[in-house]
Amino acid sequence: METLNLEILNPGPILADLKIQLQEPAVSLHSYLRRPTASGSPVFSVWNFGINPFGIRESALPEVLQLLGIRSLTLNAAQDLSPLYNLSGGIPHTGNDADKWRYLTSDAVTEVMQPFLRNCRAIAFQDWASLSGASGLWSCLLRDTIKPVGTQGLEFIFYLGDALTRRSFQVEEAIDIIAGFSAYGQVTVALDEDESIKLWMVLNGVHNYDSVVNQTFPDLKKKFASIFRSINIERLLVYSASQAMLFTRHTQFLLARKKVAQQFEMAPEARDHFIEGFCMGLAQQMDMVRCVALGLIVFGSRSEAGAGLARFDAARQQLFDYIDQWTNDLQQPEIMYLYQ
């Protein structure tokens, strides 16, 4: 992989193409399971969020999957979710994590999950660094559930989080576990620029932290490419407030993004919104450029719309409005020169 061959893409044509595709979304067979919002129903089994702007039905992510560190699940077709919801009744409430983990990795849970994985398109995971026991849970999920099913076409999306909050051997163990998912599908690891620098420090034994703002873009790019070469994954996505970069074995590109307010960038649900858009692109078999762009559009439109999710027509209009705003931003002099 050539570290200096980073293609700078003009978002304009990409946004125009996505807007056309969103004009009349076909009703999809896919189903998307995501974590409920704070204003959702208090009863897991009746959470049905309806059809989203992409023509895909959304439902609440069962509690047992949330406890396993899963952020969202994309199914190839709608499926009876009651067996997964019913597993919530067996979750120990002793306050002992060991009891909970023992249940989550038990045969009772594994046997229910396997049929769902046969029908699965994409699995997105929580931030590894902020989830206690993530390495053990994901290792068991891979060994006891995914491997026996033998599915090869899955998409796995991981956020590593702040690597400096864990010991170096824990980070290396997590990377090995994440790389192990590559045997059963395509693995994407997503990091913001600051998280990427911290991961690079751990991987290279560097102890003195140097902020992103103190480093040149060529140096940052080399460090990001170095991270990608160090991990056996399909894709590394690195993003900042102004751009997103994707590294693969065959191509690397940079996509300038529309800036949003800092409180939206750091909001707890920000990554959930991006992943939803990214997974909608995967479900519709879009290329990686459009998957990333769609993730940014969903994230940005949800952030600017404020709390609560709009219904179908209003939510779709929010997407169109955000695409138009992003397109208008591209006319700014500080952005235009990139594509001339």
Per-residue confidence (pLDDT) for residue 40, from 0 to 100: 44
Give me the residues of the chain with pLDDT under 50, please.
1-3, 39-46, 340
Average pLDDT in the chain: 89
Per-residue confidence (pLDDT) for residue 173, from 0 to 100: 98
Per-residue confidence (pLDDT) for residue 43, from 0 to 100: 44
| Distance between CA atoms of residues 94 and 309, nearest Å | 34
| Distance between CA atoms of residues 174 and 19, nearest Å | 38
Backbone phi and psi for residue 246, each to the nearest 5 degrees, phi listed first: -120, 130
The domains found in the chain, sorted by start residue, are: 7-339 (3.40.1190)
The DSSP secondary-structure symbol of 141 reads I
Is 340 exposed, middle or buried (CB count within 10 Å of its CB: 0-12, 13-18, 19+)?
exposed
Cα–Cα separations (whole angstroms), residue 37 to 138, 258, 273, 278, 298:
24, 25, 11, 19, 16
- Residue 276 identity: E
E strands, 170-232, where? Answer: 185-192
**Is-contact 68 141, C-beta < 8 A?**
yes
Other beta carbons within 10 Å of 160: 25
Backbone phi and psi for residue 7, each to the nearest 5 degrees, phi listed first: -80, 125
DSSP H helices, the chain, are 11-23, 63-67, 82-86, 97-104, 107-118, 134-140, 147-149, 168-180, 193-204, 217-230, 262-265, 270-283, 288-305, 312-329, 333-336
Cα–Cα separations (whole angstroms), residue 313 to 24, 284, 298:
11, 19, 14
Other beta carbons within 10 Å of 39: 8
Cα–Cα separations (whole angstroms), residue 60 to 57, 100, 268:
10, 21, 18
SS3 186: strand
